């Protein structure tokens, strides 16, 4: 078995407002600290890796001799969405944010989309996904018109009842929207948001599917070109539009994702396991569910020893995030935050303070250097020399 890196993105688990958070209306946000302050938090495994050295977290004390290395990373790209954060981890820096639509999409764009799908649409507003299906779900059932909505993120979301518009048809509509939304209107993601149920009791299903823009060349491409594997767990393949991913395992929730990571680790290969655990963001951050967020973090931490025990002599673990989504804020949108960085492996030096890294891309450059993969991506600076055993 060759060298492997396991990169786990705890979706939205930010660790403090970025210096430019004022430009996003996110001053004072701190997802991890505010969740911990809501009643304390029990994270002994991440604490042992050095988490308590990054921030004052009630219930997570700094360890005298942490067994991992630790730091924070600052996002250089403009924006605070999932696609931007993940792309930067792999060396893509966005100078301009993806377009957003606080007043809904332009009428001519919606008209063109309706012409392509052959039916009218409902909505075209900024809305919470759980709320809009309660507001417009019955009208959708009665008319067969899909619900189009957006958020503070760069997304074009299409909601439809699975018994009114089949999943195949909904995904086809999303592909038509993705083809339309290019250039000036090149949103980061088109998202299928299927739901089921009856009026007043509509609920979203796990059959969500994201259709991202294709990223520019990035470190995933370099890993593949070097003859190694990139195994995506969760929505990684969607985020990178299939580019640079040799195997993909979509997941229903965090538990499913954690189980899949363990199963992948039993295989014999060299390369990267790139996983996204989405429940923190999707189920708790966007719904201001502080208790649920805390419990999900504690469940991940309780599972983590299984992963550490499964790792071989040349395996390296990195735990980080892609943005924040502070559930204690008034709004339900992502927050512009730094992200934590925890690194562990049998051959990794323990107790190294990696400091404040200038870009998420430092993670990708470190992965490439450890895997001995040549890259032409300039963004980011490897911290492997600091932690090499």
Q: The CATH number of the domain where 115 resides is what? A: 3.30.70.1250
Would the pTM count as exceeding 0.95?
no
Would you write out the chain's pLDDT as a tens digit for each of its 389 residues?
789 999 999 999 999 999 999 999 999 999 999 999 998 999 999 999 999 999 999 999 999 999 999 999 999 999 999 999 999 999 999 998 999 999 999 999 999 999 999 999 999 999 989 999 999 999 999 999 999 999 988 999 999 999 999 999 999 999 999 999 999 999 999 999 999 999 999 999 989 999 999 999 999 999 999 999 999 999 999 999 999 999 999 999 999 999 999 999 999 999 999 999 999 999 999 999 999 999 999 999 999 999 999 999 999 999 999 999 999 998 889 999 999 999 999 999 999 999 999 999 999 999 999 999 999 999 999 999 999 98
Give the residue from 212, 247, 280 where a domain finishes.
212
252 with 356, same domain: the answer is yes
Q: Which pair of structure tokens corresponds to residue 16?
A: 């403090």
Write out the residue range of the structural domain in which residue 170 sits: 107-212
- The reported pLDDT for the residue numbered 389 is 80
219 with 203, same domain: the answer is no
Give the residue from 212, 241, 259 where a domain finishes.
212
3-state SS record for the chain: CCCEEEEEEECCCCCCECCCHHHHCCCCCCHHHHHHHCCCCCCHHHHHHCHHHCCCECCECCCCCCCCEEEEECCCCCCCCHHHHHHHHCCCCCCCCCCCCCCCCCHHHHHHHHHHHCCCCEEEEECCHHHHHHHHHHHHHHHCCCEEEECCCCEEEEEEECCCCCHHHHHHHHHHHHHHCCHHHCCCEEEEEEEECCCCCCEECCCCEEEECCCCCCHHHHHHHCCCEEEEECCHHHHCCCCCCCEEECCCCHHHHHHHHHHHHCCCCCEEEEEEECHHHHHHHCCCCHHHHHHHHHHHHHHHHHHHHHCCCCEEEEEECCCECCCCCCCCCCECECEEEEEECCCECCCCEEEEECCCHHHHHHHHHHCCCCCCCCCCCCCHHHHEC
Quick check: is 102 in a domain? no
How many independent structural domains does the chain possess?
2
- The reported pLDDT for the residue numbered 311 is 97
199 with 304, same domain: the answer is no
Quick check: is 254 in a domain? yes
219 with 90, same domain: the answer is yes
- The reported pLDDT for the residue numbered 350 is 97
173 with 254, same domain: the answer is no
Angle at the Cα of 135 from the Cα atoms of 129 and 138, rounded to 5 degrees: 110
Residue 223 sits in a domain of what CATH number? 3.40.720.10
141 with 222, same domain: the answer is no
364 with 324, same domain: the answer is yes
Whole-number Å distance between alpha carbons of 354 and 199: 52
241 with 340, same domain: the answer is yes
122 with 80, same domain: the answer is no
Quick check: is 100 in a domain? no
- The reported pLDDT for the residue numbered 153 is 85
Quick check: is 265 in a domain? yes
Quick check: is 101 in a domain? no
282 with 316, same domain: the answer is yes
Buried/exposed code over 283-320 (b: 16+ C-beta within 10 A; e: otherwise): ebbbbbebebbbebbeebbebbeebbeebeeebbbbbb
249 with 365, same domain: the answer is yes
């Amino acid at each position: 078995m060759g060298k492997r890196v396991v990169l786990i993105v705890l979706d939205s688990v930010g660790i403090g407002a970025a210096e430019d958070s004022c430009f996003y209306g996110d001053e004072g946000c701190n997802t991890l600290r505010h969740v911990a302050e809501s009643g304390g938090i029990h994270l002994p495994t991440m604490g042992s890796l050095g988490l308590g050295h990054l921030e004052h977290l009630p219930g997570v004390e700094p360890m005298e001799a942490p067994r991992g290395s630790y730091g924070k990373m600052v996002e250089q790209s403009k924006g605070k969405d999932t696609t931007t954060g993940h792309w930067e981890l792999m060396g893509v820096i966005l100078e301009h944010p993806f377009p957003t639509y606080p007043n809904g999409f332009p009428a001519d764009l919606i008209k063109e989309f309706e012409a392509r799908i052959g039916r009218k649409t409902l909505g075209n507003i900024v809305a919470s996904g759980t709320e809009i299906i309660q507001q417009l779900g019955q009208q959708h059932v009665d008319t067969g018109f899909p619900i189009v909505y957006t958020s503070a993120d760069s997304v074009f979301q299409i909601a439809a009842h699975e018994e009114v518009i089949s999943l195949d048809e909904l995904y086809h509509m999303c592909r038509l929207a993705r083809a339309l939304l290019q250039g000036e209107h090149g949103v980061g993601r088109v998202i299928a948001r299927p739901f089921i149920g009856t009026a007043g009791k509509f609920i979203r299903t796990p059959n969500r599917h994201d259709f991202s823009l294709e990223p520019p060349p990035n470190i995933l491409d370099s890993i593949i070109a070097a003859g190694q594997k990139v195994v995506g767990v969760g929505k990684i393949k969607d985020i990178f539009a299939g580019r640079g991913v040799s195997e993909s395992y979509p997941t229903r929730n965090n538990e499913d994702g954690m189980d899949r990571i363990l199963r992948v680790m039993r295989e014999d290969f060299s390369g990267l396991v790139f996983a996204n655990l989405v429940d923190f963001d999707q189920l708790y951050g966007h719904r201001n569910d502080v208790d649920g967020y805390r419990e999900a973090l504690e469940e991940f931490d309780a599972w983590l020893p299984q992963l550490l025990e499964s790792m071989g002599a040349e395996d390296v673990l990195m735990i980080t995030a892609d943005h924040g989504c502070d559930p204690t804020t008034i709004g339900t949108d992502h927050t512009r935050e730094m992200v934590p960085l925890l690194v562990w492996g049998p051959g990794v030096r323990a107790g190294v303070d990696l400091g404040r890294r200038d870009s998420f891309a430092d993670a990708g450059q470190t992965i490439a250097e450890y895997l001995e993969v040549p890259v032409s991506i300039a963004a980011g600076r490897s911290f492997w020399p600091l932690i090499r055993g």
